[in-house]
């Protein structure tokens, strides 16, 4: 019998394609969630009204933020789901090792983030269309002059946030898969530390300042990419000796 | 050196030794049957060989490499059992297409012909299959992947008798066309003994023997006769199994040695061969107690 060897790169690619096909259910849930978020967002996030001189003006505020928040949560939980047993077992049905499995998972999370980020941002024009069709609306943009560069920054930042949520979920999922008790210990320790040592919120505000208040998109991207890379490497290292198909 | 070798391989799971100092070597292009009672360590051994689990101590080599987390072993071996999981979104045909991208030796024609023969519907989902059908589908994956090391772990679970026979026949035919190293674990040794070249028998995580099937067939002989005569005759011989048959007569299985069987026959003892399947049952019997004792 002739023995074969397989190049690592083509294996990761095969796994990536295989997972995209078999995880299609995750994308279905994304569509449902985003439509739901749009529906909620169409309720408006605030309104004020004024009338005088025989004219009445109602100002409604609409924002697609909810869609993005839903998408971030979706990415977080989908990534946790990908580390659960049945998903892992499915990955190990065909040729794989731990590293290629992790890399293809991360590639899938990256793809999920790009697709879901794009559709989340596209929800804004969709909402406009819906509001227009409903009628009686005159649009005023919140930020009147958004440059192309700012738009691009917005897209990149959104995708990076979703990707960050995905990598956090992936790491948490990987850690909790190592032992059943960790499912309880990890969240308790995490929240416990925040409550016990971060009573005045100094740590959280520092973290927020580090990421959220970064004004340069380049610096922001660099910080995010490094963080995401660290999270993913941690997950990869932790699962590298894990036994599968228990 | 064999294609698969284990030296003093041990594996502990949950505080218990699932495998205990197992050493053996399996040659290239042979069919080996892995036999043992429930919990003897068959699945543990096979999962270590296919690189899914890590050994606790000892050495294990498959294709001259350490199998755990090894891509070379992964691409040249396949582990088939009844627990395989597939996505609910992929149809059976999709799964075959995906499998083809992972296994370089994949035989599409064989896969499709088996698929048709066993009357699968291309659009069916894996989760909707019955237990037997699912096993049959896994068997197709195992055969069509044509891996140098092919491992079937209790693959026949749920298959009806006709399908099991078809499976053994398909396995043998495909093995003759494309020889490879095959390990089958099964509880139905009587069904697979004609396929096998070697038998590896495990008991409580230990190796009892690893022998060519012909040696297993001649491993022991059965003696039936009047209890006092038989018991007298088997004194100082290695007794494997002893039971009373009817009134005053006994059936005793002893390890085969060049005995004076004519003398035994003259004493009215009838001598019969012991099938490998029965032999394995006797060898792996519990030392003490039978199920009847539980209800006393």
Q: Is A22 close to B87, i.e. CB distance below 8 A? A: yes
Which of chain A's residues have a Cβ under 8 Å away from the Cβ of B94?
Answer: 21
| pLDDT band per the 50, 70, 90 thresholds, residue A145 | low
Q: Are residues B266 and B192 in the same domain?
A: no
Tell me how many domains chain B contains.
2
Last residue of a domain, one of B210, B234, B257: B210
Residue with tokens 């071996």: B77
Range with the lowest mean pLDDT among A150-154, B131-135, B176-180, B274-278? A150-154
- What are the extents of the domains in chain A? 8-48+58-178+214-241
Q: Is B75 close to A100, i.e. CB distance below 8 A? A: no
- Which range marks the domain in which residue B101 is found? 4-210
Compare CB distances from B71 to A2, A97, A244 and report the shortest one's residue.
A97
Q: What is the CATH number of the domain that holds B250?
A: 3.30.70
| pLDDT band per the 50, 70, 90 thresholds, residue B79 | very high
Which of chain B's residues have a Cβ under 8 Å away from the Cβ of A82?
Answer: none
B47 in reach of chain A (CB within 8 A): yes
Last residue of a domain, one of B149, B177, B210: B210
Q: Are residues B24 and B158 in the same domain?
A: yes
Q: What is the DSSP letter of B128?
A: G
**Which residues face B79 on adjacent strands?**
B151
For residue B144, report the phi and psi dihedrals to the nearest 5 degrees: -70, -25
**Radius of gyration, alpha carbons of chain B:** 22
Helix, strand, coil percentages (3-state) for chain B, rounded to 5, are 35, 30, 35
Q: Are residues B95 and B116 in the same domain?
A: yes
Q: What is the CATH number of the domain that holds B133?
A: 3.40.50.300
In this prediction, residue A141 carries a pLDDT of: 66
A149 in reach of chain B (CB within 8 A): no
Q: Is the pLDDT of residue A144 over 60?
A: no
Which of chain B's residues have a Cβ under 8 Å away from the Cβ of A243?
Answer: 52-54
Q: Are residues B90 and B231 in the same domain?
A: no
In this prediction, residue A227 carries a pLDDT of: 92
Q: Are residues B76 and B180 in the same domain?
A: yes
Take residue B182 and report the two structure tokens written for it: 């095959």
Q: Is the pLDDT of residue A92 over 90?
A: no
Dist CA A176 CA A159 (whole Å): 25
Helices (H), B32-119: 42-49, 71-75, 92-102, 108-117
Q: Tell me the average pLDDT across B69-83.
A: 89
Dist CA B138 CA B155 (whole Å): 8
Q: Are residues B163 and B182 in the same domain?
A: yes
Q: How far is A82 from chain B (nearest CA, A)?
A: 12
Q: Taking the CA atoms of A160, A161, A163 and A164 in sequence, report the sign of the dihedral they define.
A: positive
Q: Locate the DSSP E strands across chain A.
A: 46-52, 55-61
Residues contacting A223, CB < 8 A, separation 6+: A210, A211, A214
Range with the lowest mean pLDDT among A46-50, A96-100, A161-165, A167-171? A46-50
B180 in reach of chain A (CB within 8 A): yes
Which of chain A's residues have a Cβ under 8 Å away from the Cβ of B148?
Answer: 1-3
Q: Are residues B47 and B11 in the same domain?
A: yes
In this prediction, residue A241 carries a pLDDT of: 76
Predicted-assembly ipTM surpassing the 0.85 threshold = no
A244 in reach of chain B (CB within 8 A): yes
Q: Are residues B157 and B263 in the same domain?
A: no
Q: Are residues B34 and B85 in the same domain?
A: yes
Q: What is the DSSP letter of A241?
A: G
Last residue of a domain, one of B190, B210, B230: B210
Do B73 and B65 meet the contact criterion of CB atoms below 8 Å apart? Answer: yes
In this prediction, residue B287 carries a pLDDT of: 67
Q: What is the pTM of this model?
A: 0.86
Write out residues 59-98 of B within 8 Å (CB-CB) of A.
63, 69-72, 74-76, 83-90, 94, 98
Nearest CA in chain A to B63: A3
| pLDDT band per the 50, 70, 90 thresholds, residue B109 | very high
Q: How far is A51 from chain B (nearest CA, A)?
A: 56
Which of chain B's residues have a Cβ under 8 Å away from the Cβ of A179?
Answer: none
| pLDDT band per the 50, 70, 90 thresholds, residue B288 | low
Burial zone of A18 (CB within 10 Å; 0-12 exposed, 13-18 middle, 19+ buried): buried
Q: Are residues B67 and B206 in the same domain?
A: yes
């Amino acid at each position: 019998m002739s023995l074969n060897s397989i190049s690592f790169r083509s294996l990761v690619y095969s796994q990536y394609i295989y997972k995209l096909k078999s995880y299609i259910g995750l994308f279905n849930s994304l569509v449902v969630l985003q439509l739901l978020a749009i529906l909620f967002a169409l309720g408006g996030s605030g309104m004020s009204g004024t009338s005088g001189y025989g004219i009445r003006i109602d100002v409604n505020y609409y924002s697609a933020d909810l869609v993005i928040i839903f998408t971030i949560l979706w990415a977080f939980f989908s990534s946790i789901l990908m580390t659960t047993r049945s998903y892992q077992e499915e990955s190990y049905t065909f040729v794989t090792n731990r590293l290629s499995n992790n890399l293809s998972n991360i590639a899938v999370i990256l793809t999920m983030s790009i697709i879901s980020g794009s559709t989340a941002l596209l929800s804004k024009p969709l909402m406009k269309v819906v509001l227009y069709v409903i009628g009686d609306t005159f649009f005023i943009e919140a930020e009147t002059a958004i440059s192309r560069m700012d738009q691009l920054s917005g897209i990149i930042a959104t995708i990076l946030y979703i990707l960050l949520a995905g990598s956090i979920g992936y790491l948490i999922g990987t850690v909790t898969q190592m032992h059943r008790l960790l499912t309880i210990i990890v969240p308790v320790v995490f929240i416990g530390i925040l409550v016990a040592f971060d009573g005045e919120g100094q740590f959280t505000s520092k973290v927020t300042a580090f990421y959220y208040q970064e004004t340069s998109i380049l610096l922001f991207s660099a910080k995010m990419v490094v963080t995401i890379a660290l999270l993913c490497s941690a997950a990869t290292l932790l699962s590298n000796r894990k036994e599968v198909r228990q | 050196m064999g294609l698969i070798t284990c030296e003093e391989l041990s594996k502990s799971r949950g505080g218990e030794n699932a495998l205990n100092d197992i050493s053996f070597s399996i040659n290239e292009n042979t069919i080996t049957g892995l036999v043992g009672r429930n919990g003897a360590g068959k699945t543990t051994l096979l999962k270590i060989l296919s690189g899914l689990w890590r050994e606790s101590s000892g050495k294990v080599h498959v294709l001259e490499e350490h199998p755990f987390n090894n891509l070379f072993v992964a691409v040249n071996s396949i582990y088939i059992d009844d627990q395989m999981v597939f996505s609910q979104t992929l149809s059976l045909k999709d799964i075959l297409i995906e499998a083809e991208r992972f296994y370089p030796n994949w035989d599409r024609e064989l896969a499709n012909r088996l698929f048709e023969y066993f009357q699968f519907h291309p659009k069916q989902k894996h989760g909707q299959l019955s237990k037997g059908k699912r096993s049959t589908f896994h068997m197709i994956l195992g055969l069509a992947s044509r891996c140098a090391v092919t491992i079937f772990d209790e693959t026949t679970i749920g298959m009806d008798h006709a399908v099991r026979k078809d499976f053994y026949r398909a396995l043998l035919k495909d093995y003759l066309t494309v020889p490879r190293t095959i390990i089958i674990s099964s509880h139905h040794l009587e069904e697979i003994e004609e396929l096998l070249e070697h038998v590896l028998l495990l008991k409580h995580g230990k190796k009892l023997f690893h022998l060519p099937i012909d040696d297993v067939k001649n491993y022991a002989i059965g003696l039936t006769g009047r209890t006092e005569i038989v018991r007298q005759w088997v004194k100082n011989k290695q007794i494997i199994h002893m039971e009373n048959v009817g009134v005053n007569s006994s059936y005793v299985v002893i390890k085969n040695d060049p005995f004076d069987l004519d003398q035994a026959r003259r004493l009215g003892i009838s001598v019969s061969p012991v099938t490998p399947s029965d032999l394995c049952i006797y060898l792996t019997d519990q030392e003490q107690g039978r199920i009847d004792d539980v209800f006393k």
